[in-house]
Every structure is written in C-alpha cells, then in structure tokens.
Amino acid sequence: MTDSWSVAGRTFNSRLIVGTGKYKDFEQNAAALEASGAQIVTVAVRRVNVSDPSAPMLTDYIDPKKITYLPNTAGCFTGDEAIRTLRLAREAGGWDLVKLEVLGEAKTLYPDMRETLKATEILAKEGFLPMVYCADDPIAAKQLEDAGAVAIMPLGAPIGSGLGLQNKVMIRLIVEGAKVPVLVDAGVGTASDASVAMELGCDGVLMNTAIAEAKDPVMMAGAMKLAVQSGRAAYLAGRMGRRQYADPSSPLAGLI
C-alpha cells in the first residue's frame, strides 16, 4: 500500500522525519537514516570551523540530492535570529522548505509562540515554506496556518525528553482543525510513542534523540519506521470504540 503525504506540494512516502544531531559519528547517522526509511532530515545551520576546513561534513554522508534537507532554527530565541538563520540556509542549500522553531527558554525549550507567529508571517512573505514547531494549542495552530505555515508541528513533550505524548487530546484537536499537515515534533521516546502520534491522525512524526540516544540507534530507527507505519495503518483502519466494561469475545449462546 502506498500511503504518501504532501507538504507544500512535495510528496513523500515516509511519514518519519529524523534529525541528524547527537549521533556518535556521521557513519552511524547515515546508517540510522537508512534504517528509518526517512526521506527528510532536519539539519542545523552553524558557523564553519575556519581553523579546520577539512573536517568531515554532513553533506559527505547524507546526500542532499537524495534526501530532503530541512534546515532548522534550533537555538534561536527570537524571530529575527530564526529568520536570519533561514535566509543563510536558503543561500547555502537553495531550499525554501524549512523548519521554524523559536524557543522561549532553555530549560523547557518550549516555543515562544508570539515570536514564532511573527517569524512565520515574515518567512511566508519572503517565499519560504515554513514547517513550524509550536505549542499544543489548537488556536495558535490555526493562527500559524493563516500566517503561512505549510505544516503544524506541535510538541508531544519537551524536546529531547523522551517522555512520550503528554497531550493526546490537544494533538487530536489540532489534527481535526488543520488544513495543512500536522506532525508531532519532539517528545517521542520509544516506538509506541510514534505509533500513538500516528493513531491520533497525525501526518507524520519528527524525532531525533529517541533514535540517536538509543543503545542501538540503527535498530531503533528501524523500530520507529515500523511504529509510524503501524500507527498510521491503525488510524486508517479505525479503532474500535471504547467501553467502560467487559464485552466477551466468545459467543454466549451454546454454553454447556
């Protein structure tokens, strides 16, 4: 079964987006990416090391012609910083599909939605296609969509926490209200968390630490691939209704 999804007119078969941070080395990162089946990776924009220009580069291990690079604004605490970062990213890579995140504070890495909304508007006007990391707020999600976000990416739990989805009701409400794709971005800790996100009807899941900090990142990447597929299939299949009490699976008629 092909079950593709589209963001800003681009179609992908994998609903898993993976980060490229925190890996032991580029080889492990590339192997995990392969096992995950992901077609999009998030990347950060940073100063080049001018004292060691021959240091290996991400692009030597993950081919931007085969894998879609999604530049992020990780570490930006104002909209202006984020916009500046993405302008550089567009010049460096030529890509207009970007991940906007404007953080509110270091402790929680929770998004600053006022700055995020302002930056989304400006980026959209400049021709960017921003996929936006955001709070699990259905109203903010609608405002982002109106401002030009091409995807809504609420957190399921704090970035890097691995706590799993703490806000299933809010994620579902965002999914029901959105006309653009919704992806859970941040909070996934293990495979079942990814399935939960997909079972809620999300279009995809974005994760980094859950794979990179697993004892075996390549095996976990494979597990995440299956979890996303399985959660998606369960969503499409339509789960049974919930009952408050038991309902026997074997017939009552003909009991001896």
Partner 1 sequence: MSSSDLISIQLNGENRSFEGPLTLLELIETLGLKPNKVAVERNMEIVPRSTLADVQCADGDALEIVHFVGGG
Residues that bind partner 1 (CB under 8 A): 19-23, 26, 29, 42-48, 50, 53-54, 57-59, 69, 71-72, 74, 84, 87-93, 159-160, 207-209
Rounded least distance, CB 50 to partner 1, Å: 5
Residue from 195, 228, 220 nearest 32 by CA: 220
Helix (H, G, I), strand (E, B) or coil at 93: helix
In which residue are the tokens 């703490």 written? Answer: 166
Name beta bridge partners: 71. Answer: 43
Which residues are identified as catalytic?
99
Cα 193 from chain centroid (whole Å):
13
Please enumerate in sequence order all residues whose Cβ is within 8 A of that of 62, keeping only pairs 6 or more positions apart, or say none.
20, 26, 29, 30, 33, 41, 69
Rounded least distance, CB 218 to partner 1, Å: 16
Q: Work out the burial of residue 26: count CB atoms within 10 Å of its CB; fewer than 13 is exposed, 13-18 middle, 19 or more buried.
A: middle
End-to-end CA distance of the chain: 44
Rounded least distance, CB 29 to partner 1, Å: 6
Tokens of 109: 């890495």
- Per this entry, what is the length of the chain? 256
Nearer to partner 1, 50 or 256 (CB): 50
